[in-house]
Amino acid sequence: MNQIVNLFKCNLNEQVLKVNENSFSKGKIISLLKNLSLTFLSTWVIYAFDIEGDLNLPVIMAIACVAFIINALLPISYRLFFFFIASLVPIFYFFSPAQAFTFIGIALALIGICHLPFSITIRKLLVVLFGICLAFCQYTIKKTGFVGGLALTSNFVSLLGVMFMFRIILYLHELKYQKKKPSIWQSLSYFFTLPNFSFPIFPIIDFKLFNSTYYNKKDTEIYERGVNLIILGLFQLLFYRVVYYLLPLISEVDGVLMFFYYIAISYLFLIRLNGLLNIAIGILRLFGFNLPDIFNYMFLAHGFDDYWRRVNIYWKDFMVKIFYYPIYFKFRKKSTILALTIGTVLTFFFNWFLHSYQWFWVLGKFSLRGPEIVFWSILCILVLVAVVYQTKNRGKANVSHLNNKTWKFACTRALQIIFTNLIIAIIYSLYNSPSFSDWINLLIKIKSSSIIEIGYVLLIFLLTLLSLALGVWMYENEKFRTLFRFFYRSQDIYKFAFLIGVLFITSSFASNLLSKKNQRTLQAYVSHRLNKTDTELQSKGYYEEILTGNQFNSQSWQNESKRPARWIRLNKTGAMIQKDLFVNLKPNIDIIFKDGHLVTNSWGMRDKEYAKKRPEHTTRIAILGGSLEMGTGVDNNEVFENLIEDKLNGNRKTSDPNYEVLNFSISGSSVIENIEKFHKQVKDFEPTHVLLSMHEKEVFHFQKTLKWIKEQSTNTESFEHILKNSPWLYELVNFIEKENLSFDPNMKEDEEIKKGNILIDWCINHLNKKCVEEGIDFSLILFPSLDNKTQNLNEIEHISKKNKIKYYDISTAYLNYNKNLLRIAEWDNHPNAKAHELIADALYLKINKKINLNEN
């Protein structure tokens, strides 16, 4: 019996057992209750604000909170085994039993390979082969969404990647050099770490450090350090939400002041990574792993080499241990500078490669973007120059030898900090740019700065310098350090006050103290809706079929990481025909598009088969729109236009006409493309009514068409041929020139909205006029939005009233419904089948209420 019990024990050294005796003194009980209370409050805050809900952090924190209590009460020798068991709970929570056991089996197989009785080289090769098989699975899943009888998901393989992609390198490294064989619970706990299952980007924890820090101090001290780090991470993630909403659109950058504001805000997005990794390490400390902090005040770096040492210390240590030191010591005998240069350059090369490798396990594809490569190259050069300079000038007088209690030192250090972070922020904006041209356009906007703007920038710089210098000077002078120590001694009060205060914000009482506008702002903050930039990206994916996963610092990359490779643009399916402005679907196609069954008739419409000539005693309604009206992601019979046709015919009297609703919509169409479709196709079908759909982001959909017009106009002969085939376009071009509405990639959002509304005004008036000439009734449909905005629709409604054009306002069709449940996928904002039902119901009521659809 004792032998069986001993299987679950971990043999710890005498020092650990002595420091962490199992007796519970009064002080220890108070400390445990305090830390448990703070952990519980932190978990409550995470649930209240749904912090990183997409990453399942609330679930992981709830499990950690319960497991922390049990772990603290267990004898210390059994805690490592319990930590492993607690780490298995998320696997069975997130996966089916069959998938969970498969997951555990694959993980154990990988660990087992590391202990095979072969040479370390053979074991490494076997691990690499195993990894290639998993990578193939991830690639296949992204392509098809299915692997094997268990239907393994991308998240399944991603978690295995997170667990093993770096830690197995360190594990094999330690097995090669470590004389003492690790225990089974040390090995299993190293890979099956509880917070692992909530963090696609997880700290690269060194195996030796992981074991050597296990209860190396008094347990209550370690727990308190863990709670402190969790609360710090929580504060950072809440602060990130504020920063997230402050990020302006690139189009809003119009001078040097906005330029520095933009790069500063986007640079502060790194706070999110800080917060996530701090919580991960904090949770591990709750179970006795007294790991060091992962960030060392990175925003206070006073040199590029210092920045490299401070930012993500675990990653830096991993790169130095596995790559830099072996390379450096190999070349050091020849030349120290040569060894530094080769070691740094190759380390940064592997640094870039491993970042892309890391994102492969998250997104299913390597990131080979030019801006990223240039970012790492520039950072490599900056760090190399700093390191070489430090090496050559070692021993010479520099700022570090100044009297650190003087104002000269404080100002110099403050200047170094500002310069370092400014350069990093500028090149980091390159890293986050979709392309070089976007980044160059951002830099060019500095040109339009006024003297007043430059003056403001200099004033802000001076105030920042003085404030930072004052902070450095106070910290370096002993008499002010007592003030810092006072705040440190009172930290428990601040921690409880912070958590309780944050929870108070979510209460109905606090909400009632605010105005309705501020209540909406608070609700947006608590629910963490997308900011302007991510909404714009999603809008582009929504209307123009453009999906991007390059903005890794954005809030939407998590959903993007779940998007399978089969989720492609419509024009990539080969289902579209395009000639100049006229776009149509190919006739008689039958494909699966975004998991929806898409079938077209002989006219290239996603609809039933109709005769071109309208039958007698028939009211024929033509619908013009984009991807929403086409029914992206749903089956043909689920599209709202089919549903409304069935409703109209199902509820008509015997004397009423028959109803036909024809769907001429196609993805990517703006109002201009829909006018072209009306002239080239729609009017030939003799509709009695034309309904043109209008959306929240309608004003932003003209730039693509205006760019095309500008490009075509450079070739006079070709453009004249286009105008000859589309005479109405000649009127539009004249209007664009008259109103100065031409394409401008650097246009500010306010100006884009203003010019977009002018174009909408012209377009709907033109289409209304042509419909009247053809004897067709023309109306607009104001469609509901899944991003909770109606400002642009209000402007379109105003334009309609001004021009006396009928419209059906169904923008509230989704009211009282959870909009997250109305999307076809987490990463795609198109309405699903249920949303199409709501659209059809709302439009049917409006049609019956406002007009009488008589035969024409």
- What is the predicted pLDDT for the residue at 856? 36
**Residues 660-667: what's their mean pLDDT?**
90
Report the alpha-carbon distance of residue 412 to residue 409 in Å, rounded. Answer: 5
Which residue type occupies 118?
Answer: F
Query: According to the 3-state scheme, what is the secondary structure of 389-425?
Result: HHHHCCCCCCHHHCCCCCHHHHHHHHHHHHHHHHHHH
**Residues 222-236: what's their mean pLDDT?**
94
Phi, psi of 121 (to 5 degrees): -65, -45
Report the alpha-carbon angle 172-177-182, nearest 5. 65
- What is the predicted pLDDT for the residue at 486? 65
- Residue 564 CA neighbour count, 13 Å, CB half: 18
In sequence order, the β-bridge partners of residue 618 are 658
Asked if pLDDT for residue 421 goes beyond 90, the answer is: yes
- What is the predicted pLDDT for the residue at 849? 56
Report the alpha-carbon distance of residue 24 to residue 74 in Å, rounded. Answer: 11
**Residues 235-242: what's their mean pLDDT?**
90
Report the alpha-carbon distance of residue 182 to residue 178 in Å, rounded. Answer: 9
The crossing angle, in degrees rounded to 10, of helices 491-505 and 26-48 is 30
Q: Sign of the C-alpha dihedral, residues 436, 428, 275, 318?
A: positive
- What is the predicted pLDDT for the residue at 550? 39
Asked if pLDDT for residue 395 goes beyond 60, the answer is: no
Percentage of the chain beyond pLDDT 90 is: 22
CB-CB contact of 615 with 658 (8 Å): yes
- Residue 151 CA neighbour count, 13 Å, CB half: 4
Report the alpha-carbon distance of residue 674 to residue 680 in Å, rounded. Answer: 10
Asked if pLDDT for residue 417 goes beyond 90, the answer is: yes
Which residue type occupies 680?
Answer: K
CB-CB contact of 812 with 784 (8 Å): yes
pLDDT tens digits for range 725-737: 888 888 888 888 8
Q: Which helix (H) or strand (E) holds 809?
A: strand 806-809
Report the alpha-carbon angle 68-71-72, nearest 5. 85
pLDDT tens digits for range 425-477: 999 888 877 777 778 878 887 877 788 888 888 999 999 999 998 888 888 77
CB-CB contact of 214 with 187 (8 Å): no
The crossing angle, in degrees rounded to 10, of helices 407-431 and 256-267 is 90
CB-CB contact of 526 with 238 (8 Å): no
**Residues 650-676: what's their mean pLDDT?**
86
Asked if pLDDT for residue 267 goes beyond 70, the answer is: yes
Report the alpha-carbon distance of residue 542 to residue 760 in Å, rounded. Answer: 19
Percentage of the chain beyond pLDDT 70 is: 84
Instruction: Give the number of other CB atoms < 10 A from CB of residue 11.
Output: 11
- What is the predicted pLDDT for the residue at 520? 64
- What is the predicted pLDDT for the residue at 778? 92
Report the alpha-carbon distance of residue 548 to residue 538 in Å, rounded. Answer: 9
Report the alpha-carbon distance of residue 757 to residue 795 in Å, rounded. Answer: 8
- What is the predicted pLDDT for the residue at 483? 65
- What is the predicted pLDDT for the residue at 40? 94
CA 794 from centroid of its chain's CA atoms: 29
Which residue type occupies 597?
Answer: H
Q: Comparing 102-106, 244-248, 353-357, 539-543, which segment has the lowest mean pLDDT? A: 539-543
Asked if pLDDT for residue 60 goes beyond 90, the answer is: yes
Which residue type occupies 353?
Answer: F
Instruction: Please give the structure tokens belonging to residue 615.
Output: 């039958």
For residue 77, give Cα distances in angstroms to 25, 66, 214, 553, 638: 19, 19, 11, 41, 60
pLDDT tens digits for range 565-621: 677 778 777 788 888 778 888 899 888 888 888 999 999 899 999 998 998 888 899
Report the alpha-carbon distance of residue 362 to residue 518 in Å, rounded. Answer: 37
Report the alpha-carbon distance of residue 804 to residue 789 in Å, rounded. Answer: 24
pLDDT tens digits for range 23-51: 677 888 888 999 999 999 999 999 888 88
Residue 699: band (very low, low, confident or very high) from pLDDT cuts 50, 70, 90: confident
Look up tokens 């197995």; give the residue: 168
Asked if pLDDT for residue 509 goes beyond 80, the answer is: no
Range list of H helices, 179-297: 184-191, 207-212, 219-246, 256-267, 270-285
Instruction: Please give the structure tokens belonging to residue 26.
Output: 């009064």
- What is the predicted pLDDT for the residue at 157? 78
Asked if pLDDT for residue 546 goes beyond 60, the answer is: no
Asked if pLDDT for residue 249 goes beyond 80, the answer is: no
CB-CB contact of 290 with 309 (8 Å): no
